[in-house]
Every structure is written in structure tokens, then in C-alpha cells.
Chain A
Amino acid sequence: MMKHDWAVSLRILLTAMGLSFGAAVAMGPLATIARAATPVETFVQQSIDQGIAILKNKTLSDAERRAQVRDILFRLIDAKKIGLFALGSARGKASQADLDAYVDAFKAFTVASYESRLSGYDGQALKITTSTARAPGDYLVTAALVDPSDPQDTDSLQIVFRVLDEGGKFAVVDASIAGVWMGLAQRDDFSSFLSQHGESVLALTAHLKEMTVALRTPQRAQ
């Protein structure tokens, strides 16, 4: 009979694609952590709480909401570091001016990507369960996705945030959803494009700009 492994993976990735580190702002309020939260856990929790407050604030205009989401997103993640990582080996071959232009385009693309998914938020909560330091200044913060309509759900999705301490300031640089690291997937995505375009960061930058416009263009009803 037909196997459903890919179906399951896609179903989980449905959540994954909507909840990668930046989209954490679309999650529900965090459950209270029973034990004392570590500073890195508090950082993730507070960022998400602030994101929720934005989503719940019905007095905001779309433009205001977009600006505030962008603000909280860039306080949560290190977009420059993520973007440069996604370039892979092409990073070393590009000029500083090209890299700067790319980082700007990447940030706009990131915001547009997450904004396009915010409408998918339907009340999920995130419960931080633990955190570990895998190296000095390099943390893994584990959280479980909780469906508010079924808080006893035994199949909750596990999300792991990779958080770096950048000179006293925490920043998320990757997130694993159900074992899939989003940053690694993005690096493969970008590397594949670059390999087909002569490792041209300029070409990728132009493409990201086009995609950003497309993401901000409302889709036709199908």
C-alpha cells in the first residue's frame, strides 16, 4: 500500500516553514517555565512574547505591524550572519560592496518571507523545555509547539533554536524543526542557485529582490 513517510514529513514541514526562527513571532504566548529560566531561554521567550503582543494588537495598521514585526525579528535573529552563512563558499569570492547589497536584500527577503506566513498563525503556543551550551557562547534552546486546542497533545513538534552570544547580546542563527535545520536548507537552496549562476552574489541579490516583490504582492484567489 502507499507509504506516508513523505506525507508526514510535509505535514511537519508545513509547520516548519511557517515557524522557522523568524516566524517564531507568529507563535502563541509561551507557557510559564516551571524551573528558573536561563538568560538565553529568557531571551527567546521575551522575543516571542513581544512578537505575540504585536500580532494581537488589533489597533495597528498593516504598515505599523510590518514595521514592528521587522523590528522584533531583527532583535531575535542575526540576519546578517544567517545571510552570509547561506552564501557558502561564494561569500569569499564577492566584494564587500556586493556582500553589503546582498545582506540588505536578504534582510528584506527574510522579512517578506515571514510576513507572508503570519496569516497562518492560529494560536499555537511554544513551551521552552530546556537549553544546553554546546560550546562557550553557543546554545541550543529546545521548545515544544503546543496546540491550544489540545494542550495534552502527545505529538508536539520539537523546535531547537541555535543561539549565539555575540559579545553579551544573544541572537538566533538557526532553528531545527523536527530535526530539520532551516539554515542548512537555505544554504543548499542558495548554493544551488549560485552554482548555476557562476557564483555571482549579484545575481542572487537581484533574484532575492524579485522574490521579495513577489512575496509582497497579494496572491490571486485560486
Chain B
Amino acid sequence: MGKFSVILVLAVGLLASGCAHNPSGYAATDNDPYEATNRAVFDFNMNLDKAVMLPVAKFYVDAVPEPAREGVHNFLTNINLPVVFFNDVLQGEVDRAGQSLGRMTVNTTIGIGGLFDVASHMGIPSHDTDFGITLGTWGLGEGPFLMLPLLGPAPPRDLAGKVVDIFLDPITYWNFREKIYYQIGLGALGVIDLRAENIGTLEGIERTSVDYYATTRNLYLQYRAAQIRKGKPDVQNLPNF
């Protein structure tokens, strides 16, 4: 499995690096050779969302008090911090790695297993990163835009990143009884938390988009590029108005 994953990552990474790099996401339409297929998958995802995910998310919001939902979100964020930490290190971000380690330590202990975000109150800022961002930091292009069933936007670089992140997660190497149920439960909770947090977001984007797919694509690509720049906007390549 290990060898397979390395080969997969290298293959996808090379594919990504061989494709046009679009650091600012200015013309996403130029980097979407599979647009027709992507749009079909996007429609499928949207239909699935409206039929299943949105009702579940709304039920979750209605049934679970806000503090409890916040605790769930904090727990999910905290349990992902080892992956964030390893990627900080791989990106050479010493300060950020320290922040991730600090947040993990504080929130896991004082924050009772990550349920409470004590670290933020102590002034330790949070951030998110992953191996797709690490590859981007190393100079790899994202590759052609891909919209995957259930997973959503995932160009080759980010897809490769998702695979590697599995192997950066210590839980992957921790064997215990009922592990499969734990992982399924965690995955389901993550999806519900994600959807519940963004009910208004997606509704707003959809209502004000002329082409919802195109908007989603552009926002995703621009945001990922910004993550590689550590949140800073691209101010060098701005267009003329």
C-alpha cells in the first residue's frame, strides 16, 4: 500500500506539474479541459446535496445546540492538527508549525480533547493547510481542474495531497478495535459539520451567481492559490480596469 501510494502521488504530481500553472486563478476557464464532465459531476453533487446533505445539515442545526456544534467543530479541527503540523514543517513554516503544536497541546489538554478552542483565547492563531498546499509551496502547479463525485473540487495536486494527508495522520497507523466505525463516524460528522457551517454561504453564492459552477471553480482556485501565499492576496498580477 505504501509503494502504491508513493507511485500514485508521483504520477499525479508530475501530471500536475506538467500542466499550466495558474497562480492567481484569473482565467479558470482556460484550465478546465474536462469542463463538460466536471459540470455533470457538479450537477450530480448539487442534486445529492439538495436531496440528502442539506436536509441533514438543517436537521443537525435545528436539533443540536450551537455550543455543542461548536464543540464538534473544534474537535474535528483539533484532530486534524497533526496533519497541519507535518505540512507546516514540510513547507518550512517554523512559526506556523509552532502554532499548530501549541494549539494541539493546549486544546487537547485544557480544551478537553479539543472540544474547546482555548488556544485561540490564549492568542495562538489557527490556520489550515494540507499536502496539496505543500506541493504548491514547492512549486507544483495544480493541474487541470477536476470536480469529483462527493469530494467536490480536487485538481490533481489537491487530490494527491488528500492521499498523502492520510499517511500524515497518526490515526492511520493506530490500530484498534472498531477503527472502521470510528473513521466512518468521523468522516460523516466532518461532512455534516462542513455542510451545516455553510448553509448560508452556499445559498448566497448560488443566488448571486450567474453560473454557479464557474463561480465555485474560481473561488476554489483563487482560495487555494491564496493559501499557498499564506493568505496574502496576489497584488503583483492585477488586471487593468
A140–B235 CB distance below 8 A: yes
Residue of A117, A120, A188 with most chain B CB atoms under a 10 A cut-off: A188
Q: How many angstroms between the C-alpha atoms of A63 and B25 in the bound complex?
A: 38
Measured in the bound complex, the distance between the Cα atoms of B25 and A183 in whole Å is 12
Residue of A nearest to B200 (CB): A14
CB-CB nearest in chain A for B119: A154
Chain A residues with CB below 8 A from B76, complex form: 2, 4
* A116: Cβ under 8 A from any B Cβ: yes
A8: which of B26, B128, B204 is its contact (CB, 8 Å)? B128
Are the C-beta atoms of B204 and A10 separated by less than 8 Å? no
Cβ-defined contact, A192 with B213, below 8 A: yes
- Residue contact B200 to A7, C-beta cutoff 8 Å: no
Interface residues of B in 172-209 (CB under 8 A from A): 183, 186-187, 190-191, 193-194, 197-198, 200-202, 204-205, 207-209
B37 within 8 A of A: no
Q: Which B residues, 113 to 159, have Cβ-Cβ distances below 8 Å to chain A?
A: 120, 123-126, 128-130, 132-133, 152-153, 158
A66 to chain B, nearest CB (A): 17
Contacts A134-B235, A152-B123 given: A13-B214 contact, CB under 8 Å? Answer: no
B222: chain A residues within 8 A (beta carbon): 179-181, 184-185
Whether A62 is near chain B, meaning CB under 8 Å from some CB there, is no
Q: B120 near A10 (CB under 8 angstroms)?
A: no
B226 sits at the interface (CB 8 A) = yes
Given known A17-B208, A178-B226, A188-B27, contact A7–B132 (CB-CB < 8 A): no
Interface size on B, residues (CB 8 A): 71
Whether B171 contacts A1 by the Cβ 8 Å rule is yes
The interface residues of chain A lying within 8 Å CB-to-CB of B210 are 189-190, 192-193, 204, 207-208, 211
| Beta-carbon contact of A7 and B197 below 8 Å | yes
Check if A189 sits within 8 Å of B194, measured CB to CB.
no
Q: Give the distance in Å from the alpha carbon of A106 to the alpha carbon of B111 in the complex.
A: 49
B21 at the interface (CB under 8 A from A): no
B98 within 8 A of A: no
- The answer, among B166, B231, B239, for a CB contact under 8 Å with A179, is B231
By beta carbon, the residue of chain A nearest B123 is: A154
* B58 interface residue (CB < 8 Å to A): yes
Complex partner residue of A180 from B29, B158, B166, B223, CB under 8 angstroms:
B223
Contacting residues of chain A (173-222) with chain B, CB-CB under 8 angstroms: 173-174, 176, 178-181, 183-185, 188-193, 195-196, 204, 207-208, 211, 214-215, 222
Q: Please, could you name 9 A-B residue pairs with CB atoms under 8 Å apart, sorted by A? A: A10-B194, A154-B124, A154-B126, A160-B235, A180-B223, A184-B239, A185-B219, A189-B211, A208-B210
| Other A-B pairs beyond A158-B233, A185-B219, 17, CB < 8 Å | A1-B166, A3-B165, A4-B76, A4-B190, A5-B158, A14-B198, A17-B201, A81-B241, A134-B238, A153-B120, A155-B126, A178-B226, A181-B24, A183-B241, A184-B222, A184-B239, A196-B211
The chain A residues found within 8 Å of chain B, CB to CB, are 1-14, 17-18, 78, 81-82, 85, 113, 116-117, 120, 134, 140, 152-155, 158, 160, 162, 164, 173-174, 176, 178-181, 183-185, 188-193, 195-196, 204, 207-208, 211, 214-215, 222
